[in-house]
Structure 1
Amino acid sequence: MTDLFSKFDPLIAERQALLDTGVRDPFAIVMDKVLSPTQAIIKGKETILLGTYNYMGMTFDADVIAAGKKALDEFGSGTTGSRVLNGTYQGHKECEDALKDFYGTKHAMVFSTGYQANLGLMSTIAGKEDYIILDADSHASIYDGCALGNAQIVRFRHNSVEDLDKRLGRLPAEGGRLVVLEGVYSMLGDIAPLKDMVAVAKKHGAMIAVDEAHGMGFFGPNGRGVFEEAGVEDDVDFVIGTFSKSVGTVGGFIVSNHPKFEILRLVSRPYVFTASLPPSVVATAATSIRKLMHADEKRAHLWKNSRRLHQGLRDLGFDIATKEAESAIIAVLLPDQEKAVMTWQALLEQGVYVNMARPPATPAGMFLLRCSLCAEHTDEQVDLILQRFANAGRIAGVIPA
């Protein structure tokens, strides 16, 4: 009889060979203690965090923490139920109200994770006679939502307005269509040309969903995301987001102005059949979202950090995925897994934690270190990061000695 795990044997062997070289496992790091949005203790060493999505540094905000403690005392540790049964507390409605105020929309729907928000929309909104047209580099949650539903799936080349136009033009007249885009693509930190893409989608009569997981908080005049900065707010039907990035906790959401939107609460299985978020979580989320409405200084400092690190790494000789700083994500490309692991470990030993990414999370043959900046990184920390990248790059032989 076949062992169901046998399909993973090549990956198991590859991982073991990597660990046999004496390096730490890049995918099993434990934070022994978290000191702030930008610092933690890892293996007894104070470490600068450059591998979290804590873009706006809200995890240690005093008001956010106080709101969570208060809700924990008043409402307990959990709801033990779905939103459509006993799982809607006052805090869930307050969180959705905060989202509606933040985005200026009529409707907001909170899910237990950002993953489930994409799963809930993609699997529900389009039926077997309909089409979902998505960027080839879409997040796994978008692909999984499509797999859970019955719609026909059409992919277009990453960030290609021309290919999107071509593929929409080939579809038959019958059936609905939903174009799914992301404001910021999380692996390389590049942004979508939303203005042109939305125009193409509208030309072909498609509805539009934009995932702003990595854009919320610091793109646009109000921090709503890339779609706000692109000036297409009135043309986007659904905005999907998460609380686990700029908001600083956990959860997901969809906001919309569509008049029939609320029916999703009764037909979206990832919403109906999941326990709702604990009261302390929605309280922290609501408080954080309302504070992000007035975070201009934080946004400006985050962009300053991103531009400084991007240019500094380029000046050192590193290969950066984007020509300029497009977001708070900066992807440092490495030639192979060995160089990527060597650079990653050299950074960690100096007290800088970044994410290492490899296939299948990246395209075949692409290995990278993904840096995620925070509005709470100080100028001095950015200086230290650049110094330690210089040392690590020379140790690994990926930049000139």
Structure 2
Amino acid sequence: MSDLFSKFDPLIQQRETLLSTGITDPFNLVMESVESPTVAICNGRRTILLGTYNYMGMTFDPDVVQAGKDALDQFGSGTTGSRVLNGTYQGHKECEAALREFYAMDHAMVFSTGYQANLGIISTVAGKDDYIILDIDSHASIYDGCALGNAQIVPFRHNDIEALEKRLKRLPAEAGKLVVLEGVYSMLGDVAPLDKMVKVAKDHGAMVLVDEAHSMGFIGENGRGVAEAQGVIDQVDFIIGTFSKSVGTVGGFCVSNHPKFEILRLVCRPYVFTASLPPSVVATAATSIRKLMHGSNKRAHLWENSKRLHGGLKKLGFTLGTDEPQSAIIAVIMPDLEKGAAMWEALLHEGLYVNLARPPATPANMTLLRCSLCAEHSAEQVEEILGMFEAAGRSTGCIG
């Protein structure tokens, strides 16, 4: 009899081989307590956090935390219902209002996670006879949105403007087309040439969706992302984002100026058929979003951190995912999974947590140590981090 789990045997074997060396499981770390956006206790030891997506450090903001406590007292712990039934509270409307104001757009729709925002919007907007043209390095939630909607998927080479144009030229002129791009790609931390890509998409009659999960709050004059920074935000049809990065809580959203946008609330399955976010979560999100509107000092400090860490790691001899810092993500490329896991553990022993990313989630089968900086990291902490990388790099032989 066939075992439905047999398809996972190679991965089970790879994991057992890795753990048999006595290494800590890099995908099962427990944070026993969290002291701040940048420090936690892991394995009983004070650890600097360089692997969270807490870009703007909002998780411990006193106003944000208080808003959550007040909502918990006033509205209870959950809505126990869908947004289209009993699951829309005053807080959900206020959260959507904050998003409309933040992006200066007409419509905002809040989902229970960022994953569901991509899943819902992509699968609802592009259906069976439509085409989705997407970057080959797109996030899993984008691919899953394509699969759920059953659209024709047309991938193109990462950040390649000519490849995008070639794909669009081959498609029937009258067909429905959605080009899906990301502002910042989360694996290498590189930025898309949205200014050129959006123009190409529009020239070929396609709608454009940009996932700004890793750029919201930080990139752009008002923190609206790469589309704002590159001057094309008005030509983008849908912007997808998440609350689990710069906003510092959980949830997802889509903002748009499309005149028919509101009908999506009735036809988008991942929105209709799931419980809405708890009142405390939307209260923290709305408060955080409103504070991010005035976050220019934090944005400037985060850029300083990014430049300092990128330059320091390069100087130590590490191979990085980008030549220059392009975002708050700095990817350190490892020779293979074994070396990457050893380096990850050595850093943990030094008192530093980073993300270990492995194939198939990574581009070109790379093993990466992904560093995500926070606006709350001090200049001193960045120097401390560089010292930890140097010690771990030498002890594992990753640098000479």
Identify the TM-score tier after normalising by the shorter chain.
Answer: over 0.9
Q: Does 1:300 align with 2:300?
A: yes
Residue 25 in 1 paired to residue 25 in 2? yes
Aligned to 1:109: 109
Residue 184 of structure 1: aligned partner: 184
Q: Give CA-to-partner distance per residue, 1:305-351, whole Å, 9 cap, x none.
A: 00000000000000001000000000000111121111111100010
The reply on whether 1:283 has 2:283 as its aligned counterpart is yes
How much identity, in percent, do the aligned residues show?
Answer: 75
Number of the residue aligned with 1:202:
202
Q: CA deviation at 1:42?
A: 0.3
Deviation at 1:364, TM superposition (A): 4.5
CA distance in 1 between counterparts of 2:317 and 2:387 reads 13
Separation in structure 2 between the aligned mates of residue 129 and residue 344 of structure 1, nearest angstrom: 45
Structure-2 residue corresponding to 1:310: 310
1:164 match: 164
- Amino acid of the structure 1 residue aligned with 2:12: I
* Alpha-carbon separation, structure 2, partners of 1:359 and 1:151: 26
Q: Which runs of 5+ in 2 are unaligned?
A: none
CA distance in 2, matches of 1:177, 1:385: 45
Contact 2:187–2:363, Cα closer than 8 Å, also in 1: no
Q: Match for residue 128 of structure 1?
A: 128
* Whole-angstrom CA distance in 2 between matches of 1:373 and 1:262: 36
In 2, Cα distance between equivalents of 1:56 and 1:363: 26
Superposed CA deviations along residues 143-193 of structure 1, whole A, max 9, x for unmatched, are 000000121111111000000001000101222101000000000000000
CA contact (8 A) 1:89 1:279 kept: yes
Across the aligned residues of Structure 1 and Structure 2, the Cα RMSD in angstroms comes to 0.6
C-alpha separation between the residues in 2 aligned to 1:229 and 1:268? 30
The residue that corresponds to 1:266 in the other structure is 266
Could you say which residue in structure 1 is the equivalent of 2:74?
A: 74
Over residues 286-315 of structure 1, what are the superposed CA-to-partner deviations in whole Å (9 max), with x where a residue is unaligned? 000000000011000000000000000000
SS in 2 for 1:128: coil
Q: Distance between the aligned counterparts of 1:341 and 1:202, measured in 2?
A: 44
Tell whether the 8 Å contact from 1:112 to 1:252 is kept in structure 2 after alignment: yes
Distance 2:3 2:150 in 1: 31
Structure 1 position 93 matched with structure 2 position 93: yes
Which residue in the other structure is 1:84 paired with? 84
The CA deviation string for residues 58-103 of structure 1, in whole angstroms up to 9 with x for no partner, is 0000000000000000000000000000000000000000000000
Count of residue correspondences:
400
Q: Is the 8 A contact 2:55 2:372 kept in 1?
A: yes
- In the alignment, structure 1 segments of 5+ residues that lack a partner are none
Displaced runs of 4 or more, over 6 A: none
The more displaced of 53-62 and 358-367 is 358-367
- Confirm whether residue 227 of structure 1 aligns to residue 202 of structure 2: no
Bigger shift: residues 263-272 or 355-364: 355-364
**TM-superposed deviation, 1:363:** 2.9
Equivalence for 2:14: 14
Q: Structure 2: which amino acid aligns with 1:70?
A: D
Q: Is structure 2 residue 338 aligned with structure 1 residue 338?
A: yes
Tell me, yes or no, if the aligned pair for 2:186 and 2:214 is still in contact at 8 Å: yes
Distance in structure 1 (CA, Å) of the matches to 2:25 and 2:341: 9
> Tell me, what secondary structure is at the counterpart of 2:179?
strand
What per-residue deviation string (whole Å, max 9, x for no partner) do you get for residues 92-119 of structure 1?
Answer: 0000000000000000000000000000
1:325 matched to which residue of 2? 325
Match of residue 371 from structure 2: 371
Q: Would you say the 8 A contact 1:336–1:365 is kept in 2?
A: no
Q: Give 2:160's aligned amino acid.
A: S
TM-score (norm 2): 0.99
Aligned residue for 2:58? 58
TM-score by length of 1: 0.99
